[in-house]
Structure 1
Amino acid sequence: MRPDKILYVDDEPMALKYFERLISPMAPVLTALSVEEGKAVLQARGGEIAVLISDQRMPGAMGNELLRYARDHHPSMVRMLTTAYSELGEAIEAINTGEIYRYVTKPWDLELLRADMRNALELSETRCERDNLLREKMAVQRQQLLASRISQLAVVCAGFMHADYARGLQVFLQAAERSGCALPPIDWRSMDHAELMQYEAQRSVAIGQAMAGWQHVFAAVATPAAALQALADALPGQVELVGDSATISNRQPLTWLLDAASHEPPSPALVAWLAWLMWWGGSAQLQSSEQGLVVRLGDTPSAAPADWMATAIERISLAASEAA
């Protein structure tokens, strides 16, 4: 929903009525009599508000305080200050500190006030369009990173494990999808593309090293029962063994390799589930339950279809995007 309302905060009831009568033909107007009331409106209906305009001199707290609050909690909201000529120094300070878009002097020039409100609403619309484009761009970049990680895991699995890695990785991706795998975060404020690629390369190397460490553990297991016990031992406190099944109650080892931040190094436990599947994923069968992901081992190993990776990337990316 695109914000379309104007919130005006002033301790003078007549000023609120006058403003609403003047501006409501242009946009819906909300009003508040104090900074605290204004904060309450922002908390309850901040997503609906395109423009916040506040008087400066009010009992209890100054308008600047409300504008700072809006800047911190609703940074895309257009913020304005209305003040008397004698208080222009405070308005200039508010502009210089990034708290407001502009100020409107009292007493109002009615045509200038209408023009200012129109400009503020247009700016809000422009910011919404910009934010939507940025969100779409970020979602695409995060989808691309998720797909890249799946491809990297395939290379890691093929390089460190036996040749029949595809079915195990397919089961890993199915488990990640069922467990609510998210799009990995990318903080472009603290890194550029080259740094992201460096983190991702370091991450893949660390995953490969951990996989190689688990190889000697899981390759030595000979029976399905022993294999489930080995998985429980690798994930202490996160796996419950019941009969011929194992229930993984913690989501993290099921999705971390795909949706964690790039700079977070993997621990061996976070790689254990994928490593275990390299030996036992061919016969693994998954079932979701309220307690977690239930894993059973069948008698007949099954092969992954030819297009398994493309299908998995599409399904996981779509589910993660819809949940974002």
Structure 2
Amino acid sequence: MNTPQKILYVDDEAMSLKYFDRLVSSIAPVLTASSVEEGKAILRDHASEIAVLVTDQRMPGALGNELLRYSRENHPHIVRLLTTAYSELGDAIEAINSGEIFRYINKPWVLDSLHTDLKNALELSALRTERDELLHDKIIVQQSQLLSNRMASLLMLSAAVQTEAHEAALYQFAQSALVCKSVEPGVNWQHWEHADLLQAEAQRGVSIASHLRHWLKTWGEPKEGAAALQVLAEVLNADPLGDDGVLISDPETLTALLTAPAGQLVTAPQCAWLAWLMWQEGLAHLEPIDGAYRVSHVNASSLPGDWLADCMEQMGRSLT
């Protein structure tokens, strides 16, 4: 994650823009805009580079508060300051009370005070960036752990439901998830306590086992060739290709058991892909084809001894 270092100053007075740049460029690179709309455009294009936003209040067309509000809602990492004259102090107080700004700077500026305020704002921006990086790393670790737990749980569940060939089925399931490149669990980590998450995942596992049994009982004895592929096409609402396989356009039908949010009700269609692989004893292969995915039959082969650990590592790397 790049650390933003620039200051954006917005003011409709050309002399103020030049004066600010001359006073401040010694402590940070300065971008300038002469209106709220121009300021928004710069934020849209360069927000990742901007650490601090300073805006005047009274400008033609729109007030500085509008730009501050826009920045808070769309680019919350940016530290926001309002500069205004004493006669407009009420606007500054309103901005502070509504959470729009870090602080306000009086006009006319006093150089030492201006530098101090901006340096404090830059330091706050750096701290926010560091915090965001730590949170990002923490979330990646949590997501990786959840993926690993779900993979291990699916292996145990499939073994309990079907004693033979369950490992080959789960191996192909894991390989298909890696092919789809979409294995990030949609979990609100601020919402879940550890014990609650474990309980939700355990309940989820019970539901998955029930759906797997349902599908295997419904399909009965395994079929071969085009007949088996036709079953898959029907349950996944995919396009049958006869003996050439099945074409699947929605990768979520293949990865939902790994990516679905914690606490979300598990559905039978979400379990159909793994159940079908178990029904076919893992004798299937998934490959990307022109933005979709084709499932075809393959011959039996031996599994690597460390395949599960290797899949977990690959899935964890895909999150970074």
Say yes or no: does 1:306 pair with 2:305.
yes
Structure 2: tracts of 5 or more residues without a match:
none
The CA deviation at 1:108 is 0.9
Letter of the 1:171 counterpart? Q
Letter of the 1:114 counterpart? H
The CA deviation at 1:195 is 2.8
Please give the TM-score of this superposition, normalised by the length of structure 2.
0.95
Letter of the 1:313 counterpart? M
Q: Which moved more, 1:29-38 or 1:243-252?
A: 243-252
Partner of 1:43: 44
Partner of 1:275: 275
CA distance in 1, matches of 2:288, 2:40: 43
Partner of 1:11: 12
Partner of 1:103: 104
CA distance in 2, matches of 1:206, 1:184: 18
Q: Deviations over 1:35-81 (max 9, x none)?
A: 11111111111111100001111122111111010000111101001
Q: Deviations over 1:286-324 (max 9, x none)?
A: 3332152222223x42232221111111112212x14xx
SS at structure 1 position matched to 2:52: strand
Partner of 1:28: 29
- Which 4+ stretches in 1 moved above 6 angstroms? none
Say yes or no: does 1:284 pair with 2:277.
no
Q: Which moved more, 1:274-283 or 1:182-191?
A: 182-191
Partner of 2:72: 71
SS at structure 1 position matched to 2:82: strand
Equivalent pair of 1:199/1:263 in contact (CA under 8 Å):
yes
CA distance in 1, matches of 2:60, 2:284: 68
Partner of 1:318: 317
CA distance in 2, matches of 1:283, 1:243: 14
CA distance in 2, matches of 1:276, 1:308: 20
Letter of the 2:97 counterpart? N
Partner of 1:296: 296
SS at structure 2 position matched to 1:104: strand
Structure 1 segment 1-324 matched on structure 2, within 5 A: 1-236=2-237, 238-290=238-290, 292-298=292-298, 300-319=299-318, 321-322=319-320
SS at structure 1 position matched to 2:240: strand
SS at structure 2 position matched to 1:188: coil
Q: Deviations over 1:250-305 (max 9, x none)?
A: 2011111111211322221111110011121432233332152222223x422322
SS at structure 2 position matched to 1:282: coil
CA distance in 2, matches of 1:118, 1:217: 68
Letter of the 1:255 counterpart? T
Equivalent pair of 1:54/1:80 in contact (CA under 8 Å):
yes
Equivalent pair of 1:232/1:239 in contact (CA under 8 Å):
yes
Q: Deviations over 1:112-149 (max 9, x none)?
A: 10111111111111111111111011111111111111
Equivalent pair of 2:277/2:283 in contact (CA under 8 Å):
no
CA distance in 1, matches of 2:56, 2:304: 66
Q: What do you get for the CA RMSD once the two structures are aligned? A: 1.6
Q: Deviations over 1:15-34 (max 9, x none)?
A: 11100011011111111111
Aligned length: 319
Equivalent pair of 1:282/1:302 in contact (CA under 8 Å):
no
Equivalent pair of 1:234/1:269 in contact (CA under 8 Å):
yes
SS at structure 1 position matched to 2:246: strand
CA distance in 1, matches of 2:311, 2:45: 40
The CA deviation at 1:187 is 0.9
Equivalent pair of 1:249/1:292 in contact (CA under 8 Å):
yes
Letter of the 1:301 counterpart? A
CA distance in 2, matches of 1:284, 1:59: 66
SS at structure 2 position matched to 1:181: coil
Q: Deviations over 1:192-233 (max 9, x none)?
A: 323322322222122111111001133323323321121122
CA distance in 2, matches of 1:161, 1:151: 15
Letter of the 1:308 counterpart? W
The CA deviation at 1:7 is 0.5
SS at structure 1 position matched to 2:9: strand
Call closer, same or farther: CA 1:152–1:28 in 2, change over 3 Å.
same
Call closer, same or farther: CA 1:306–1:224 in 2, change over 3 Å.
same
Equivalent pair of 1:9/1:31 in contact (CA under 8 Å):
yes
The CA deviation at 1:186 is 2.3
Please give the TM-score of this superposition, normalised by the length of structure 1.
0.93
